[in-house]
Structures are given as structure tokens and as C-alpha cells.
Amino acid sequence: MPTIRWGLVGCGDVVRKRVAQAVLDEPRSELVAACRRDKQRLDEFCDRFQIDKRYPRDTDLFTDPDIDAVYIATPVKDHLPQTLAAARAGKHVLVEKPMAMNVAECTEMIEVCRENDVQLGVAYYRRFYPLVQRIEELLKSGEIGTPLAISAVTSTPFALQSGEEGYWRVIAEEGGGGALMDIGSHRINLFAHLFGGVQQVKCICRNVAANYDAEDTSVMVLGFESGSVGTLQCHFGSAVDPDEFSITGTLGRLYAAPLNGSELVIETAAGCRTERHDPPPNFCGPLVTDFVSSILERRSPRVCGDEGKLTNAIIERGYKDRT
């Protein structure tokens, strides 16, 4: 069986909790290297996951001939230079969301990966949720009629102080934005995937819970080319995360809370029922599996660079016209 040898660039929260184990659990994958500037934390991470090759410098990992693919999980400002360096070294790239700081960077990443004949995927892993896949099926079946509106509410108990790990997420020059860019990007990617092209974008961004450089609260309204509308609330600083997701149609409604849970409520004139679709034990597992398959089968990953760019484009329009 062919084996894809992985290097991890960045060993923060999502990699520690999900990505490293997802690679280890993928039968066609081997986790061979990791990179982090902080050598002590790098050693702690590599000891935990039994990784032999440890690189404080990303350039050394990219030029390692024993690595086929990299997972980039660094501040958004680093996604462009690291993706370009990896692609030019012949490595396939799976990059964290959001894909880049802006659309121009996304375009360059796509072009360089194509020029070097390597795959480029973006880690919008919610696309692989069983509930999301069931929602797609129900929309195609017409059970809730013509879609009228899509809505999501997401928040996180964010209370980071300057200097703490992950604080870059509220510094616009490092993360590209705040709550909308960080946690909102996942939902915007789903909106575009389920409802198609976006015609109008309006956004309100505020700092309510904390005085961060980037916004901690945002509300986005989208008008789709189909005529449907969408609303998205994103919050840093709330003590609870409802992770609500709903779609209203002319014949019914779909509702999930949380979206990463098991239950999907389906309401129609005929009544209300709840379906159960259990999520995988590791949310990043299907993402990694699909990316490995895309390399071995020489096909595009399900969430490719072009889709990552589209998500960035919607966010960019929202920030441009925000009030």
C-alpha cells in the first residue's frame, strides 16, 4: 500500500487535539516530522506523538526528501510563504482555515501549487460532518422545498491575553481579522457550498467583550444568486457556544445544534422528526483521509484551493463594506 509521509508545520491546539492523531490513524499515512519555533514545546509535542524528525525552522522541513505532504497550522499571515515554499519543494499542502490573509494570496497559492503539480487542500473539515452530508441530501431531495434562508450562530469562550498561545487570532495583521475570519470562515464555507454563489454581502463588526485589535463580534448578511438569504453571528467571549445551524424552506426547516453533534431536526407540515447521524471520533479524520486519497488518485481534494479562495472572497467583501 502506498504511504504518504507527513510533516506538521505548527503544533498548536488543533494539531495537538486532532490533526496529529488523524494522520496516525490514516492507514496510508505516516507521521515523520514536525516543526515549531519553540524547541521545548516542539520536543514535548514530538515526544507525545513519537515523532523523530524535529525542525525549529520550516525551511528545513520543506526540503526534507522524506516528506510528501505537509499540514500547515500557523498564524494566517504565514500561510502564503509556507505554502509557496512547500509547493516549490514538491510537497502537497493541506492548510488550515482561513486559507490566507486575502484573495490575492489565495490566488498565488493556487497558482504555485498548480505549477509544481502538488495538491492544495483547505481544512474546512465541517464539510465532512455526517449532519452536513445529510443536510445536502435533504436539500437535493426537495423535502423542505425551495430554500429561503440559511442561518448560523457560533461563539467561543475566548479570553486570551497578549502573549498567550493563539493570541494572533485577534490581531488583524496576523490572523486577517477576528471572529468572522476565524470561526466564521467555517460557516461561510458551508453557506457557499450549500447555497451557491453570493451576490450581496453586508457586515457589522464590533468589539463588545474585549478591546482586541480585531473584532470579537460580527453579524453578516448574505444575498445568494438564487434569491435566498443567509445570516451569520460570530462571537469571541461568550461563555456558551450554541453552534446553531438552520435552513428554512418553503415546505419545512432543518435545524442542528450543535452542528458537530448527532441530531438533525426536520420539520415539515407532516410533522417533526429527529434523525441521528453520529460524528466521527476525530473531526479531522475524514479531511485527512480525503486529502490522502486526492494525492494517490491524482484528483482534487473535496475542499480545494479554489473553494478556500471563494470563502476568503466572501469574508473580504464583508470586511470591505462593514459598519
The residue-averaged pLDDT of 125-131 equals 97
Nearest alpha-carbon partner for 28 in 52, 58, 53, 5:
5
**Mean pLDDT (the chain, rounded):** 96
Provide the pLDDT confidence category of residue 25 given band limits of 50, 70 and 90.
Answer: very high
On whether residue 221 sits in a domain, the answer given is: yes
CATH number at residue 292: 3.40.50.720
On whether residue 145 sits in a domain, the answer given is: yes
The 8-class DSSP code of residue 96 comes to P
Instruction: Give the integer Cα–Cα distance in Å for 208 and 203.
Output: 15
Check whether residue 59 and residue 119 sit in a common domain: yes
Element (H, E) at 154: strand 147-156
On whether residue 56 sits in a domain, the answer given is: yes
User: Residue 163: what pLDDT?
Assistant: 76
The residue-averaged pLDDT of 99-117 equals 99
On whether residue 248 sits in a domain, the answer given is: yes
Check whether residue 153 and residue 270 sit in a common domain: yes
Share of the chain above pLDDT 90, in %: 92
pLDDT tens-place string over residues 159-207? 777 778 888 999 999 999 999 999 999 999 999 999 999 999 999 999 9
Residue 29 belongs to domain spanning: 4-125+283-303
On whether residue 313 sits in a domain, the answer given is: no
Check whether residue 257 and residue 171 sit in a common domain: yes
Residue 312, pLDDT > 80, answer yes
- What is the four-CA torsion angle of 292, 296, 297, 298, rounded to 10 degrees? 100
Residue 118, pLDDT > 90, answer yes
Phi and psi based region of residue 232 (left: phi greater than 0; alpha: psi -120 to 50; beta: remaining): beta
Do 135 and 141 touch, CB atoms closer than 8 A?
A: no
On whether residue 164 sits in a domain, the answer given is: yes
Whole-model pTM? 0.96
Element (H, E) at 218: strand 217-224
Check whether residue 58 and residue 95 sit in a common domain: yes
User: Residue 283: what pLDDT?
Assistant: 97
Residue 104, pLDDT > 80, answer yes
- What is the four-CA torsion angle of 192, 197, 200, 203, rounded to 10 degrees? 20
Residue 157, pLDDT > 90, answer no
On whether residue 28 sits in a domain, the answer given is: yes
Complete DSSP assignment for 170-184 = G-HHHHSSSHHHHTH
Total count of domains within the chain: 2
CATH number at residue 210: 3.30.360.10
